């Protein structure tokens, strides 16, 4: 069993959340309030739990239920593992590339006021850019796939929306009969990606404004006027937009290792928290403008500012922050991957073959931290602490 961190986000919410909620009454959304409540109750008696007994040493253990909120630092490791197990069968024996699409700071500011619309637009335009440039015969001339993951934070918990793309290095030829591979070590030209991403995003942003789909508050309220908004957009057509392509991953397992760190990450992990005292909340962060060891620094914020920054990154209800496009789109991914393996002349991985045969994956088991034997559920208690019988085997 993993040791509990000395300090957790839940501890900060428990100590300072009630007073701050009262001070911010009317300014916090229902989604933000739900996240605060879920994190403070996670793995406590408030959510119920079960009593386990080890078959080997007879040790009893109380295990409280998780909140399973996607913004909770404690719940995401198990969620990531389940998601990664499902992705094992999706990997192809080709180079994989990592690309990042980032919104400029002025657009990031209005994105915070229009999360569902602009985060969704960021996903769709990044995917469209990748698929269109890859399909161009001047570049790759192939129909590709991509998995995109939204992050809305910088290391210091500031609002910094960007999507990470994990892309196989190749795709189907236009006739669908051959696999077209990228040149070794090179995916697509970043400058070309950046130009198309900028043009298409601004076109669609203007379309949203014309349709009255954007809201503006505070210092941005004047942008509701069409003339003001058009003037505000003009400099953004000239500045550089950041599209970054990293070196290819060192094999499929490196892709999985990367995904395990990025897919279910939250704004800050409990392991980055250092202290909560009279000075405030201190945590580790990485300054990407610095180099070497000076990149790693400690920052102290008041508890109120820490909570404000953390809750900046609460997503709208029902918003998916992991999406698949092109030949990896959910609607036809299995058929496309089967065709890709056929064209690459490789066999399906064992996990996929077992699923095709209808074999069930083994049921999860609890393991004793003391002797390693299996643990069985003795009793289950609910939120009201009432007891019920253990589930049937």
| Residue 213 in this model has a pLDDT that exceeds 60 | yes
Distance CA 84, CA 9 (A): 25
- Note the pLDDT of residue 263: 75
More confident residue, 53 or 285: 285
| Residue 176 in this model has a pLDDT that exceeds 80 | yes
Query: According to the CATH classification, is domain 77-267+313-344 in 3.40.50?
Result: no
Q: Which residue has the tokens 């795709």?
A: 171
Cβ(96)–Cβ(255) under 8 Å? yes
More confident residue, 223 or 384: 223
169 — pLDDT class (breaks 50, 70, 90)? very high
Cβ(147)–Cβ(166) under 8 Å? yes
Distance CA 255, CA 166 (A): 8
- DSSP result, 106-162: HHHHHHTTSHHHHHHHHHHHHHHHHHHHHHSTTTT-SB-EEEEEEEEE-TTS-EEEE
Cβ(96)–Cβ(248) under 8 Å? yes
User: Domain map of the chain by residue range?
Assistant: 77-267+313-344
Cβ(32)–Cβ(314) under 8 Å? yes
- Note the pLDDT of residue 88: 75
Rounded mean pLDDT, 16-45: 93
- Note the pLDDT of residue 364: 46
Task: Choose the weakest-confidence range: 45-49, 153-157, 258-262, 356-360.
Answer: 356-360
Q: How far is CA 142 from the centre of its chain?
A: 27
Distance CA 185, CA 95 (A): 8
Cβ(115)–Cβ(311) under 8 Å? no
Compute how many other C-beta atoms are within 10 angstroms of the C-beta atom of residue 10: 22
Tens digit of each residue's pLDDT (9 = 90 or more) over 217-265? 999 999 999 999 999 999 999 999 989 888 788 777 778 777 767 777 8
368 — pLDDT class (breaks 50, 70, 90)? confident
361 — pLDDT class (breaks 50, 70, 90)? very low
184 — pLDDT class (breaks 50, 70, 90)? confident
Distance CA 151, CA 308 (A): 17
Q: What percent of the chain has pLDDT over 90?
A: 60
Compute how many other C-beta atoms are within 10 angstroms of the C-beta atom of residue 385: 10
Angle at the Cα of 255 from the Cα atoms of 245 and 196, rounded to 5 degrees: 25
Task: Choose the weakest-confidence range: 60-69, 78-87, 167-176, 270-279.
Answer: 78-87
Which residues make beta-bridge pairs with 280? 277
Cβ(166)–Cβ(98) under 8 Å? yes
Secondary structure element (H or E) that encloses residue 196, with its range:
helix 190-210
Cβ(148)–Cβ(123) under 8 Å? yes
Tokens of 24: 């911010």
Q: Which residues contact 52 (CB under 8 A, 6 or more apart)?
A: 60, 61, 62, 63, 366, 375, 376, 377, 378
Rounded mean pLDDT, 91-104: 92
Rounded mean pLDDT, 58-85: 79
Burial 352-361 (b: 16+ CB within 10 A, else e): beebeeeeee
Q: Which residue has the tokens 């690309």?
A: 99
Kindly tell me the number of DSSP H helices and DSSP E strands found in the chain: 11, 15
């Amino acid at each position: 069993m993993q040791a509990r961190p000395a300090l957790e986000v839940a501890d900060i919410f428990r100590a300072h959340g009630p007073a701050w909620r009262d001070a911010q009454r009317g300014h916090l959304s229902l989604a933000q309030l739900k996240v605060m409540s879920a994190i403070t109750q996670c793995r406590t008696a408030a959510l119920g739990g079960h009593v386990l007994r080890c078959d080997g040493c007879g040790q009893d253990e109380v295990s409280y239920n998780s909140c399973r909120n996607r913004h909770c630092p404690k719940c995401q490791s198990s969620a990531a593992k389940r998601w990664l197990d499902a992705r094992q069968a999706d990997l192809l024996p080709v180079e994989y590339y990592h690309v990042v699409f980032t919104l400029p700071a002025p657009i990031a500011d209005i994105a915070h006021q229009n999360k569902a619309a602009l985060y969704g637009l960021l996903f769709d335009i990044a995917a469209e850019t990748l698929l269109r440039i890859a399909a161009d015969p001047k570049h790759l001339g192939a129909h590709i796939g991509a998995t995109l993951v939204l992050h809305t934070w910088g290391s210091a918990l500031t609002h910094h929306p960007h999507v990470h793309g994990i892309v196989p290095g190749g795709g189907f030829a236009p006739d669908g009969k051959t696999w077209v591979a990228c040149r070794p070590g090179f995916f697509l030209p970043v400058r070309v990606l950046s130009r198309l991403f900028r043009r298409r995003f601004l076109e669609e942003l203007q379309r949203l404004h014309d349709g009255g789909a954007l809201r503006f508050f505070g210092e941005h309220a004047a942008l509701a006027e069409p003339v003001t908004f058009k003037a505000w957009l003009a400099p953004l057509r000239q500045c550089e937009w950041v599209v970054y392509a990293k070196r290819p991953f060192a094999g499929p397992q490196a892709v999985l290792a990367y995904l395990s760190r990025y897919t279910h990450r939250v704004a800050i992990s409990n392991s980055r928290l250092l202290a909560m005292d009279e000075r405030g909340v201190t945590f580790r962060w990485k300054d990407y403008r610095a180099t070497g060891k000076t990149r790693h620094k400690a920052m102290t914020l008041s508890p109120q500012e820490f909570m404000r920054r953390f809750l900046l990154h609460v997503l709208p209800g029902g918003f998916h922050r992991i999406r698949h496009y092109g030949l990896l789109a959910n609607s036809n991914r299995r058929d496309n991957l089967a065709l890709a393996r056929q064209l690459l002349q490789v066999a399906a991985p064992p996990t996929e073959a077992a699923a095709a045969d209808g074999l069930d994956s083994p049921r999860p088991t609890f393991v004793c931290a003391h002797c390693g034997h299996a643990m069985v559920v003795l009793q289950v208690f609910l939120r009201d602490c009432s007891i019920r019988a253990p589930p049937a085997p």
